[in-house]
Amino acid sequence: MFARIAGVGSYLPGSPISNTDLIQRGVDTDNDWIVSRTGIKSRHLADAGCTSSELAYEASCRALESAGVKASEIDLIIVATSTPDFIFPSTACLLQSKLGNQGAMAFDVQAVCAGFIYALNLADKLIRSGSHKKALVVGADVFSKILDWDDRATCVLFGDGAGAVVVEASETPGILSAAAHADGSYNGILSVPGSVCGGKVTGDPFLRMDGQAVFKLAVRVLSEVAKECCEIAGVAPAEIDWLVPHQANIRIIESTAKKMGLGMDKVVVTVDRHGNTSAASIPLAFDLAVRDGRIARGQKVLLEGVGGGFTWGAVLLEF
């Protein structure tokens, strides 16, 4: 038994917010500085009160329609998010309710920007075990909720959105290999070091990042895990039709592609339009490339992500 992606979908809230728009809103930054260092030109920001489950619902409906699958047929729901609606119940259970599904196994995965890779890896294993047949795997985040808009080094980098895929059991290979890792000793270079206790926020409730440290680690582990997935599947990097990386920074994306020996003509890039949407960035980019015709059935696609924790992973699939 194998697992294959049967449908894709994504959702972005509101209209694009350009770098100039942020400056006009009072963010102390510069458009040339943002573009030259990150490649980001715009992002989407959810309205106040908009939740991850709402974004996840919109993306899920599109993925279910793409797969030709009814919500009632889904027996596994995994949502990757760092911005859940509540402490509990899980965003996956809230999404399940919105979809009108009953009885499916539903839970959240918290691996920050690598969350979708972790979730897809889990869905693959559960389907291959025979315990589940049709899974809905979602990455959804509203990072605008945890940004310090006075910290120009971080607030310009992120956006909100959701992406989803339907994964189903198949007699022919779809997901060829997967690998995921973590190293908690790097927990301090990218974190939201706050919590809730006694009804009050303790610590710092905003995202904090050591950009240089993150860059160095990300380039190294992404190239390593990409090669690991290729070796597991017996696929040479040159055989990959498309690389769909986590959309954090264009320089990280370019450096990773170079280490793999791939030209940028084989890389799906959306960071310029979406910014870093955390767990949503990979499925958002994947959906865009499928819908505009770049990614076609039968092609080999490598998905990879890295996030706070520090977490990282990759999935190699034949679409």
* Cβ partners under 8 Å of residue 263, min gap 6: 257
Q: Which of 101, 121, 249, 276 is catalytic?
A: 276
Number of helices (H), then strands (E), in the chain? 10, 15
Tokens 């992500």 label which residue?
305
Backbone φ and ψ of 221, nearest 5° = -70, -30
Q: Which of 44, 101, 229, 246 is catalytic?
A: 246
* Burial label, 254 (beta-carbon count in 10 A; 0-12, 13-18, 19+): middle
Is 249 catalytic? The answer is no
132 is catalytic: no
Residue 87 to residue 94: CA distance in whole angstroms: 12
Strand ranges in 204-274 using DSSP code E only, listed in sequence order = 208-209, 242-245
Q: Is 246 a catalytic residue?
A: yes
CB-side neighbour CA atoms (13 Å) of 292 = 10
Total residue count of the chain as it appears in this document: 319
The C-alpha angle with vertex 300 and arms to 76 and 305, in degrees rounded to 5, equals: 60
Continuous segment of H or E residues that includes residue 196 = strand 194-197
Contact (Cβ atoms closer than 8 angstroms) between residue 42 and residue 73: no
User: Which one of the listed residues 19, 44, 93, 113 is annotated catalytic?
Assistant: 113
Rounded to a whole number, what is the distance in angstroms from the first to the last CA of the chain? Answer: 16
Catalytic residues: 113, 246, 276
